[in-house]
Chain A
Amino acid sequence: MKTQKNTFASKKRNSCRFLLATLAVATSATLQAAVPEISGVTMAQAANRLVTIAYTLADAPAVITLDVQTNVTGDVWTSIGGAAVRNAMGDVWKRVEAGSRTITWRPDHSWPDHKIADGGARAVVTAWALDNTPDYMAVDVSATGGAGTQTYYPAADFVPGGVTNAEYKTSVLLMRKIMAKDVTWTMGSTPLETKRAANETAHRVTLTNNYYIGVYEVTQAQWGLIQPSRLTPSTFNNAADRATRPVENVSYNEIRNSANSTDDTAAYRWPADPNPNSFLGKLRTKSGLDFDLPSEAQWEFASRAGNGDTKWGDGSGILNADSDANLNLLGRYERNGGKVWNGSSYVNPAESCGATNGTAIVGSYAPNAWGLYDMQGNVWEWCLDWYESDITENGGAVNIDPSAPATALSGESRSNRVLRGGSWFGAAGACRPAQRNSNAPSTRSYSTGFRVLCSAGLR
């Protein structure tokens, strides 16, 4: 009996060990599958100056980026800068499958007239796991169909042509990764802030994931590439510069919930995926990425760029509710060209006006501290959430992704969607990062546009 019991216990132990071992192997396999490994990096140059960089990628597909470094300043390896290597071609700047891969680079084209002594230059090949892709992502919206229209870059100076290249305002969406995961920060404003409103109560928020957000507001050219059936929806559509001005006069519903109309189709309301024939639905089909509007919290976190109460997104102070010298550098609003002074008041410009009035060409002003343009002014930007006047939601407790809770809070009507950022139409105080506004989702307005967001990492 004793023997039988021991045998049973032994079998049970062995069974547990087997189970644990299986779990350990499975866990290990899961982790290994998620982490790509780079090895065997070699770099060689032919007589014609062409540089070939070979590497082996193992365990998982990855986004590959390249850097070239020199040690001519001593033992310290220093990057020659993204601008000098961004013309590299082949298995780089994109998703690459595991295997032996090759990159070619023409330094004589992008980094001319350098001679580095033997041993003085090296290649650094980086593999980014698919759930942690690099800081910049460019999505070609002129390309026809499917995933693979994206390229990735580890920093602003690696972005081809630079982030202000006109391409990123017309045929390509340039996205910036925001490192928000597990960061607790203060949303809203305190009474110290000029022109603050009662619906901005400062409260702490924790976002649970990183995300990409558009470096620019979506432009009229980009809208037209996605929704050609409503090619020119905007009020400020002067033919000379409309392509790179932000799209406006587009409703929340046609961006997300309906097929090119202002109707709200409940079946497509967040958290459901967008209507396949809406702007976001078509963009998702084209790119293979989970594009959406930013939640209100995601928008404000990106707009603040690490700056809190009483500050603009570049760290400068909010000075004046009407005309603000710091905001003059950051975005288009009523007092720096948005409206026209007629001798007694600021009035709307003509709809046919150039970009010196009304909306500005995106990127005309300085970016915020995280390289995002026009987060203040130009056009109000639609956010995902229903508008609720009590922004603190849970009585001031830390909110986790406070986007459209499942049921409306007491006294909230849920008739409007959130707007953020201010516009050409308003004074400085309306452009503050904490300023909240809203409108019915069917509304089209010449002061309202949007920028897009998607999760950080390929799906």
Chain B
Amino acid sequence: MVRQATLNNQRKMENMATGKKLDGKPYAGDPHVAPFLRVALVAAILAVGEAALSPLHADTYQFIVSGYPAENENYAAASSGTALVTSTHAVPTAVQALEARYRTWGESDGIALRSDKLRIMMVVIR
């Protein structure tokens, strides 16, 4: 409910910016106050369920699958096939071991993470 109200407010602000009201008609405006002063936008984080970043329901979403870390992709291609005529190749494991020796990594603990838009509350000053 709160979210819907916020969305409505966002939409109202956008409509005002474009000179149209929610119903699509031109915004009449107040002759005594410049349009951009009519609305003071106060972005406030809604504390409930936000600040703590407690465990959240994992919504359905899409994510991009990356091959990272890519292990010697060039090498793999060079040694993958039959395409190279009469060539012999270095032992892949030796090259991969060399790679690993010169690259180290560390992992953090798992956390909850959210990247949805911050909800904002608008105060309209008339």
Which A residues are within 8 Å of any B CB, using their own CB?
34-45, 47-49, 51, 53, 55, 67-68, 70-72, 78-84, 107-108, 111-129, 131-132, 135, 154-155, 157-158, 177-186, 190, 202, 204, 301, 304-309, 311, 315, 369-370
Contact = CB atoms under 8 A, between A and B. Distances in A.
A124 B105 contact: yes
A116 B112 contact: yes
Given A202-B86, A370-B77, A125 B112 contact: no
Nearest to A157: B66
B110 A121 contact: yes
Nearest to A315: B83
A129 B75 contact: no
Given A81-B65, A202-B85, A112 B115 contact: yes
A116 B101 contact: no
Contacts, number: 231
Contacts of B107: 41, 122-125
Given A41-B107, A182-B90, A183-B89, A114 B83 contact: no
A47 B104 contact: no
Contacts of A370: 73-74, 77
Contact of B77 (A135, A186, A306): A306
Contact of B105 (A53, A125, A183): A125
Interface string B112-124: 1111111000000
Given A113-B117, A125-B105, A308 B84 contact: yes
Contacts of A124: 105-108
A186 B53 CA distance: 57
The 5 closest A-B pairs by CB, nearest first: A81-B64, A107-B115, A306-B77, A118-B55, A119-B110
Given A128-B103, A132-B99, A155-B70, A308 B109 contact: no
B85 A112 contact: no
B87 interface: yes
A115 B58 contact: yes
A42 B108 contact: yes
A84 B64 contact: yes
Nearest to A204: B87
A202 B56 CA distance: 61
A70 B64 CA distance: 11
Contacts of A53: 108
B81 interface: yes
A122 B90 contact: no
B70 A80 contact: no
A305 B81 CA distance: 12
Given A118-B110, A127-B103, A306-B84, A49 B70 contact: no
B79 A183 contact: yes
Contacts of B53: 45, 47
Nearest to A129: B102
The winner among B56, B101, B103, B114 for most chain A CB atoms within 10 A is B103
B45 interface: yes
Given A185-B84, A315-B83, A370-B77, A121 B103 contact: no
B110 A71 contact: yes
Given A49-B118, A306-B81, A370-B77, A120 B110 contact: yes
Interface in B38-84: 45, 50-51, 53-59, 61, 63-70, 72-75, 77-81, 83-84
B4 interface: no
B109 A51 contact: no
11 contacts: A35-B104, A38-B106, A51-B113, A70-B113, A80-B66, A127-B105, A129-B102, A177-B74, A178-B74, A183-B89, A186-B84
A79 B63 CA distance: 8
Contact of B63 (A38, A70, A126, A204): A70
Contacts of A47: 45, 50-51, 53
Contacts of B85: 186, 190, 202, 308-309
B113 A107 contact: yes
A387 B72 CA distance: 31
A309 B84 CA distance: 7
A418 to B, nearest CB: 21
A112 B63 CA distance: 11
A70 B107 CA distance: 12
Nearest to B72: A179
A374 to B, nearest CB: 18
Given A120-B113, A177-B74, A184-B88, A114 B63 contact: yes
